[in-house]
Structure 1
Amino acid sequence: MATAAFEDSDALKNVKAALEPGYVPSDDEEYMSETQLNYFRMLLLEWKKSIQSASSATLQSLQDGPIREPDLNDRASSETDWSIELRTRDRQRKLTAKIDAALRRIDAGEYGFCEVTGDPIGLRRLIARPVATMTVEAQEAHERREKISRDD
């Protein structure tokens, strides 16, 4: 079972190899220039491809046959492992939808700008979380409002 962090680092390596050698978006260039947009588009596409590949591997493992452990403890352990794997794949399925939304924002020219304030999200945040839709400040305010409404 591959971890998400491993897949993410592989996606980032593939993108860096496909673009200009050593290219990393920087504050010295125009924000959301064509080069930056291509960088993020390729990063998102590689990320999506790695998620789909991992999902296919999980599906193939499930189709290979049911868990047939003779010992009840071994069977319980195997079922727990599969449960965790399936929850991970479900989270990644939701992430795939966010990746698709980010790709649509790139095509629409809206990528990199906060959906609440319209301010630039920032390169460091986008490199860390390419599917981000809000600035750090807007995200924090959103989470505070969410916590308050949950506590009521």
Structure 2
Amino acid sequence: MEQQQVMMLTEMLKQMMRGILAKSNVTIHCLAEETVCHADMADRAAHESDRNMMLIMSQRDRIMLEEIRNALERVELGEYGICFECGEDIGLARLMAQPTATLCVHCKAALENERMHVSNPYGATEYLFDK
């Protein structure tokens, strides 16, 4: 991969990180200021549901931040854009779509295909998404 492409993807990763950090600051602020008392059970349930969704989304953001940090570390080590499985270059189109990717399209497809097939104890193959 060309140095210019790596620099472009690095900037994309840094923008993603800034966006997530800005969003997480708002989430933390919202959760910290939460002193609402709802008399109505439906309002309380809706509020609790919203709070749980916010917590789930913040957990997903933490995972994404870790993936971004790992990708930036691979850039520093000169290992960015190299498939963990086969050692081949990860295509630019894949990295543009998923800058934190660690597998090339072929290895990712093989992994997904492997996950879709689950063997049952009787030897027959079941498909996870068949039903």
The alignment's TM-score, normalised by the length of structure 2, stands at 0.84
Q: What is the RMSD computed on CA atoms of the aligned residues?
A: 1.7
The whole-number CA distance in structure 1 between the counterparts of 2:70 and 2:43 is 41
2:6: which partner in 1?
Answer: 37
The whole-number CA distance in structure 2 between the counterparts of 1:33 and 1:109 is 12
Tell which deviates more after alignment, 34-43 or 142-151: 142-151
One of 115, 119, 124 as aligned partner of 2:88: 119
The whole-number CA distance in structure 2 between the counterparts of 1:49 and 1:150 is 43
**Residue 112 of structure 2 corresponds to residue 143 of structure 1:** yes
2:75: which partner in 1?
Answer: 106
Tell me how far 1:75 sits from its aligned partner. 1.1
Tell me how far 1:117 sits from its aligned partner. 0.8
Instruction: Give the number of equivalent residue pairs.
Output: 121
**Structure exhibiting the larger radius of gyration computed from Cα positions:** 2
Larger fraction in strand:
2
Secondary structure in 2 matching 1:134:
coil
Letter in 1 for 2:76: D
What stretches of structure 2 of length at least 5 have no aligned partner? Answer: 122-131
The whole-number CA distance in structure 1 between the counterparts of 2:120 and 2:3 is 44
What stretches of structure 1 of length at least 5 have no aligned partner? Answer: 1-31
**What do residues 88-138 of structure 1 show as CA deviations (whole Å, max 9, x unaligned)?**
110110011100110011111111111111111111111110000111110
**Residue 49 of structure 2 corresponds to residue 58 of structure 1:** no
Tell me how far 1:143 sits from its aligned partner. 2.3
The whole-number CA distance in structure 2 between the counterparts of 1:151 and 1:130 is 36
Tell me how far 1:38 sits from its aligned partner. 1.0
The alignment's TM-score, normalised by the length of structure 1, stands at 0.73
1:69: which partner in 2?
Answer: 38
The runs of 4+ residues in structure 1 deviating greater than 2 Å are 143-152
Tell me how far 1:85 sits from its aligned partner. 1.2
Tell me how far 1:40 sits from its aligned partner. 0.9
The whole-number CA distance in structure 1 between the counterparts of 2:13 and 2:118 is 33
Q: Residues 93, 151 of structure 1: CA spacing in aligned structure 2 closer, same or farther, 3 A cutoff? A: farther
Is the Cα–Cα contact under 8 Å of residues 67 and 79 in structure 1 kept in the other structure? no
Matches within 5 A, 1:81-100: 81-100=50-69
Q: Once the two structures are aligned, what percentage of the paired residues are identical?
A: 31
